[in-house]
Amino acid sequence: MQTVFRELEGKSSTYYGLLGGLGLLALLGLFAAYQMEHHGHIITGMTNQVVWGIPHVFAVFLIVAASGVLNVASIATVFGKQFYKPLAPLSALLAIALLAGGLMVLMLDLGRADRLIVAMTHYNFKSVFAWNVFLYTGFFTLSAIYIWTMMDRKVAAFNKPVGFAAFFWRLSLTTGTGSIFGFLVARQAYDTALLAPMFIIMSFCYGLAVYLLVLMAAYSWSKRPLGDLVIRRLKNLLGVFIAAVLYFVAVYHLTNFYFTRQHEFERFILLDGGIYTLLFWIGQILLGGVVPLILLYAPATRQSRSAIASACLLVVLGGLAQMYVTIIGGQAFPLQMFPGMIESSSFFDGVIHPYVPSLPETLLGLGGVAVAGAMVVFAIKILRFLPESLDDPAVTLSHKAD
């Protein structure tokens, strides 16, 4: 039996309210970007010490999640699990939407956003950012073609090769995203090859959390059936990914403990870094890792839809906390130009660099999320991304046992 895909009705007040709300948030983000472009970054909290702030936290999260959300489609195509085939189109749509939102934030935060044409015509191929121009554009193209092979029966034969290409492409893309930081020898928080695979695992985790959230929301609000089989398989997979992320974080910090020269930095993140310590332990580890694992596996909660949705939301929030600690915490800790010495200067050497997010940059970051959301909400109404039914009989019949 073939899965029947159908567009969302999309006429209810909830739908228009959601679309309108997301549109409004996106507009606010664009207005904030205009203010930043007009008055300069002086109106944000970013300084010469903390040069990448909240916009980058949101942007990198969205980009990492975009790459990971395509995982669901890859499991169907690359790993041959037919069970996931009905879930694939939404996965590819989310990939495009999240990446678009993240890139929008990144590009609007540029000091000279009017020079994007320069960025697209002049390349220094030693720079990860230059590769990213091609990696991201290629990702858009491949995901779009992927959707085409899923929806148009005439090109369905290309589904597998395009799926493979998209899989390897996004591994390169996420390696690149992790290497943006991993290649920086200057800062003690970065300068490690571990960041590339860690970002890949994080992408799987955050992408699947976003996917599950969107799936549950879409089906619950459009009153389409979503069975326990689908939920159970996805949430078990999510649990594995959360555990893997915790593993990578543990290895990262344990290795740092072995290097005496990293001890001060570890002390800063894990003990006396104020907001960064809080976000690390409470945000990233507890709320982003331990609590979701409990919610997803404990007998009391693992069957409850609301518990699973909460777990997904906590994973997303934990992911944002992780990005904040990595990106901003990594910049807040001062550079060690004279290891072991105490430095001080008029340029804030030797002191923790303060950073307070401002309204314009927060609106810009949220605007990117809103654009991604609005794209998804709009797309599922005009094209057939969602199966009519994902209840247990429908998904069992649509594939052979695997």
Partner 1 sequence: MSDFDTYRRRFMGGVLGVAATAALPAGVLFWQTAQGEVKDGPPASDKVRWGMLVDTTKCGTGCDACVRGCDQENGLSGDTSPTSPQWIRKVQVSNPRTGYSFSLPMMCQHCEEPPCVDVCPTGASFKRADGIVLVDRHLCIGCRYCMMACPYKARSFIHQPVTDQLAEVPRGIGCVESCTFCVQRIDAGKQTTACQDACNAEGHQAIYFGNLKDPDSEISRRLASYRSQEVLASLNLHTGVRYEGI
Q: Interface residues with partner 1 (CB under 8 A)?
A: 39-42, 46-49, 51-52, 110-113, 115-124, 126-130, 132-133, 180, 183-187, 331, 335, 337-338, 340-349, 353-354
3-state secondary structure of 53: coil
Yes or no: say if 232 and 212 are a contact pair by the CB < 8 Å rule.
Answer: no
> Which DSSP helix (H) or strand (E) runs through 308?
helix 305-323
Q: What would the two tokens of residue 374 be?
A: 């609005």
The residue (of 50 and 363) whose beta carbon lies closer to partner 1 is: 50
To partner 1, the closest distance from the beta carbon of 368 in angstroms equals 16
To partner 1, the closest distance from the beta carbon of 54 in angstroms equals 14
To partner 1, the closest distance from the beta carbon of 128 in angstroms equals 7
Yes or no: say if 316 and 209 are a contact pair by the CB < 8 Å rule.
Answer: yes
Residue 326 is classified by DSSP as: I
Q: How far apart are CA 140 and CA 97, in angstroms?
A: 9
The residue (of 111 and 161) whose beta carbon lies closer to partner 1 is: 111
Q: How far apart are CA 152 and CA 321, in angstroms?
A: 40
The residue (of 73 and 361) whose beta carbon lies closer to partner 1 is: 361
To partner 1, the closest distance from the beta carbon of 224 in angstroms equals 25
Q: Which residue type does 221 have? A: W
Q: How far apart are CA 36 and CA 49, in angstroms?
A: 18
The residue (of 349 and 391) whose beta carbon lies closer to partner 1 is: 349
- Residue of 320, 374, 288 lying closest to 19 (CA atoms): 374
The residue (of 41 and 170) whose beta carbon lies closer to partner 1 is: 41
The residue (of 16 and 338) whose beta carbon lies closer to partner 1 is: 338
Q: How far apart are CA 317 and CA 311, in angstroms?
A: 10
The residue (of 158 and 348) whose beta carbon lies closer to partner 1 is: 348
Yes or no: say if 310 and 288 are a contact pair by the CB < 8 Å rule.
Answer: no
Yes or no: say if 269 and 325 are a contact pair by the CB < 8 Å rule.
Answer: yes
To partner 1, the closest distance from the beta carbon of 335 in angstroms equals 5
The residue (of 164 and 338) whose beta carbon lies closer to partner 1 is: 338
To partner 1, the closest distance from the beta carbon of 198 in angstroms equals 18
Q: Residue 7, Cβ neighbours under 10 Å: how many?
A: 14
DSSP string over 63-79: HHHHHHHTHHHHHHHTS
To partner 1, the closest distance from the beta carbon of 122 in angstroms equals 4
Say how many Å lie between the first and final Cα of the chain, rounded.
16
To partner 1, the closest distance from the beta carbon of 254 in angstroms equals 24
